[in-house]
Chains A and B, each alone.
Chain A
Amino acid sequence: GAGVSQSPSNKVTEKGKDVELRCDPISGHTALYWYRQSLGQGLEFLIYFQGNSAPDKSGLPSDRFSAERTGGSVSTLTIQRTQQEDSAVYLCASSLYRDIGETQYFGPGTRLLVL
């Protein structure tokens, strides 16, 4: 079946502009995660959604970052007033449900470059 998809695959923007990144999880997966991967760094947790529960936003680096998940499926990560340090690959993952042993399935990522 279809995996996790993300769009756009690449985004170049100017400093100060807003960007929206989209994630389509695997159908039926109730948990959805956003991560940031900076060059040469590991994955930095940003936010996750589980069903209808309040999202865990503890990893968002500033109030310029926000995310929503509509209808328990598609998610959008929004970065307002982008800064050059926001340049990174943004990864989305989904899992069947939230449990410590659950496998996460990752999308291909959106590579963001802020000029």
Chain B
Amino acid sequence: GNSVTQMEGPVTLSEEAFLTINCTYTATGYPSLFWYVQYPGEGLQLLLKATKADDKGSNKGFEATYRKETTSFHLEKGSVQVSDSAVYFCALSDQSGGFKTIFGAGTRLFVKA
């Protein structure tokens, strides 16, 4: 079945540091890939997505590239801010999975001033 594996947290960084959160997936079809973010006290919201291989999703300075050859969708940001502190979820959806979205366990990011 489909699955998503992302790096365990928490990840603690200083402001302006480079961020990478690894995400790899297993899917039988051709999935769409997502990063959702949950800020403290708020609901989940879409951060970015990519719907086919080699696509790059980007938003708010975050980027992730859909790598079919390595089945990965790593999240990166060149310079994090305190306001980026949140829980980040990698997710996939594909037709063979009945259109269900499968989420990773989430990675908590703390950014220190």
Q: Do A and B bind each other?
A: yes
Contacts of A104 in B (CB 8 A): 46, 101
Whether A103 pairs with B89 at a CB distance below 8 angstroms is no
Judge if A100 is at the interface, Cβ distance under 8 Å: yes
**Interface-forming stretch among B13-21, B37-45, B67-75, B78-86?**
B37-45
For A42, give its contact among B45, B94, B100, B106 (CB under 8 Å): B106
The number of A-B residue pairs with CB atoms under 8 Å apart is: 59
Interface size in chain B (residues, C-beta < 8 A): 24
Q: Judge whether A59 is part of the interface by a CB distance below 8 angstroms.
A: yes
Quick one: given A33-B101, A45-B101, are A100 and B43 in contact (CB under 8 Å)? Answer: no
Q: Which of A45, A58, A91 has the most CB of B within 10 A?
A: A45
A48 touches B89 (CB 8 A): no
User: Is B99 a contact partner of A59 (Cβ separation < 8 A)?
Assistant: no
Please name the residue on chain A nearest to B38 by beta carbon: A106
A99 contacts chain B at the CB level, 8 A cutoff: yes
Which of A42, A58, A101, A108 sits near B89, CB closer than 8 Å?
A42
CB A44 to nearest CB in B, in angstroms, measures 8
Is B102 in contact with chain A by the CB < 8 A criterion? yes
Interface residue ranges of B44-70 to A (CB < 8 Å): 44-46, 49, 51
Interfacial chain B residues near A106, Cβ < 8 Å: 36, 43-45
Given the complex, which residues of B lie within 8 Å of A4, measured CB to CB?
43
Chain B residues proximal to chain A, CB less than 8 Å: 31-32, 34, 36, 42-46, 49, 51, 89, 93-95, 98-106
Q: With contacts A98-B99, A104-B101 known, what are 15 further pairs, Cβ within 8 A?
A: A33-B101, A43-B44, A45-B100, A45-B102, A45-B103, A48-B100, A56-B98, A100-B94, A101-B51, A102-B93, A103-B34, A104-B46, A106-B44, A106-B45, A108-B43
